[in-house]
Amino acid sequence: MFNLGIIGRPNVGKSTLFNRIAGRRIAITDDMPGVTRDRIEVETSWLDKDFKLVDTAGFDLQADVLKKEMQEQFFKAIEEADFLILVVDASVGLHALDEIVCDMLRKCGKPFIIAVNKADSNAREQAINEFYKFGDVEIFPISALHGRNVDDILDYIYTYI
């Protein structure tokens, strides 16, 4: 089954997006960064196509054991995915780690898009401008919390499923 992975730094809203797409509250969301320790998957669909949605722990560049497990989970998620949504945070802005992961995804040739989350208002949507330096990648301003523009992402990915 087509595997759609959600990746991004801790606290950007990956689990909120997972819940929004799955339409149910399955992933655990929390204000505490890195709260999703286990991968959570759900089979869901968009229009007439079924796919597996995979929520992952946030990637972080720290060295303790838990973080190391998260990193391994992160690389496994990338490997297994047919398509990835890289979630970034409009309220934080462009982060060095986002650029590193973006470059990495380009190099390994996985199809992906960037979802600039927490773009809750038109004003916040302006924040996506700085993300255009990522180049030729499709960039969608979304609000996972309010469901804003999430359908656009699914319509785009639909052609890959």
Residues that bind Mg ion (CB under 5 A): 14-15, 36
- Minimum distance of ligand GDP from residue 61's CB (angstroms): 16
**CB of 88 or CB of 157, closer to ligand GDP:** 88
117 binds, among ligand GDP, Mg ion, none (CB under 5 to 8 A by kind): ligand GDP
- Minimum distance of ligand GDP from residue 36's CB (angstroms): 5
Please tell me whether residue 58 binds ligand GDP under the rule CB under 6 A: yes
Phi and psi at residue 112, to the nearest 5°: -155, 160
Residue 15's closest CA among 1, 35, 62, 88?
Answer: 35
Burial 59-96 (b: 16+ CB within 10 A, else e): bbeeeeeebeebbebbeebbeebbbbbbbbbbeeebee
Provide the 10 A C-beta neighbour count for residue 31.
6
Please tell me whether residue 117 binds ligand GDP under the rule CB under 6 A: yes
Please tell me whether residue 5 binds ligand GDP under the rule CB under 6 A: no
- Minimum distance of ligand GDP from residue 48's CB (angstroms): 27
